[in-house]
Amino acid sequence: MSSIFGTLFRISSWGESHGKGIGVVIDGCPPLLPLTAEDVQVALDRRRPGQSTITTPRSEKDTVQILSGVFEGKTTGTPISMAVFNEDQRSSDYSEMKEKFRPSHADFTYQEKYGIRDFAGGGRSSARETIARVAAGAVAEKILLQGAGVEIRAFIRSVHDVEAPADLPFPDRESVEATPVRCPDAATAERMIAKIKQVRDKGDSVGGVVECRVRGLPTGWGDPVFDRIEADLAKAMLSLPATKGFEVGSGFAGTLLRGSEHNDPFEMRDGKVRTSSNRSGGVQGGITNGEELVFRIAFKPTATVRKNQKTVSSGGEDTELAAKGRHDPCVVPRAIPIVEAMTALVLVDHAMRHHAQTGTFGEFAAE
């Protein structure tokens, strides 16, 4: 089972949802980056459960400990190991799942592949594994911001059939975090929250779409053919639990346009080659073009619902299951910091690869 991600900036994720804890080892972080546990904790606090009435009530502080790779507040260039220890496991909630496969979960496929599975919370298939990604992403995001001035913002574009306005500007983090649903448009956020509560009260769930934008990217990051920026982003995003789709720029809607309508014309602006539109989403030929990077990820409805559903037992018998446990009626609000983390991990890796090839990247800002 591969739990390693990245080429030059590499992370190794470990731990289970109801085990001792979750953690990550970062290999390839440059030395002298100012880094404290508080830098990482800010990101983890945005991901942790129990934040509002529309998320799982599981109570976890998700307090991070940096075990290695930092000395006197700065990275040393050696592997950085971080751990978060679980505090509020209720494995008894999953006793029925020991014998019954949860519909649309990884229970059946894990059992078939490995011949064994951690039925308590799903083990490695649980979204709690994303603690490791968010912790590592916080480090990557700091490198990008200080080294190249790159800003990453994700927000909810839609929940079920409730969609935010198409012309939203690049949001500040405060407007995203202003509501528990993390949509920067306040009016839309209210309708999204109402939709989530409505299905939650019926023991059901809904999905949605996350949009992520990145500004400050220089031209030239990424490679043609196999290591295209959008290809690596797609892999990163589709590795997240509950994801079902990825699109960049105009995405699938672009198929309704003709080439003359879809092309982004070039123009000179402030002494630089720019595009007057951005249907490419900031990437052309797999390489960043200096425009805002824009992509979207589709998240399915949470698979664990309280309604009775048909399933099969591990003994091959038809049965029914109404899942227990504490779960999000909509995973999309808590996905925001995870999407930002995976974006940062992809981009910092490409930044380092670009630097290795061309010798240009940036310097850390003095603090």
Question: What CATH number did the domain enclosing 67 receive?
Answer: 3.60.150.10
- Does the pLDDT value for residue 320 go beyond 90? no
Residue 125 tokens read as 């298939």
Contact 280, 289 (CB under 8 A): yes
For the chain, give the percent of residues with pLDDT over 90. Answer: 71
Domain total for the chain? 1
Query: Is 366 within the bounds of a domain?
Result: no
pLDDT at residue 61 in the model = 85
User: Who's near 157: CB < 8 A, 6+ residues apart?
Assistant: 163, 164, 183, 208, 209, 210, 211, 296
Beta bridge partner(s), residue 27: 10
Mean pLDDT to the nearest integer, 70-86: 97
Q: Is residue 163 part of a domain?
A: yes
Calpha distance 81→95 (Å, rounded): 33
pLDDT, one tens digit per residue, over 225-264 is 999 999 999 999 999 999 999 999 999 999 999 999 999 9
The token pair that represents 348 in the structure block: 């910092």
- Kindly state whether residue 320 falls inside one of the protein's structural domains: yes
Q: Does a structural domain hold residue 109?
A: yes
**Residue 95 above 50 pLDDT?**
yes
Residue 302 has pLDDT above 60, yes or no: yes
Strand 293-299 with 243-248, pairing: antiparallel
Buried b (16+ CB within 10 A) or exposed e, 85-100: bbeebeeebbebbeeb
Domain coverage including residue 12: 4-358
In a domain, 367, yes or no: no
Contacts of residue 294, Cβ cutoff 8 Å, sequence gap at least 6 = 211, 212, 213, 248, 249, 278, 281, 282
- Identify the band that residue 367 occupies on the pLDDT scale cut at 50, 70 and 90: very low
Mean pLDDT of 127-144: 96
Taking alpha carbons only, the member of 44, 6, 37, 10 closest to residue 25 is 10
Structural domain includes residue 365:
no
Q: Is residue 168 part of a domain?
A: yes
Assess if residue 227 is contained within a domain: yes
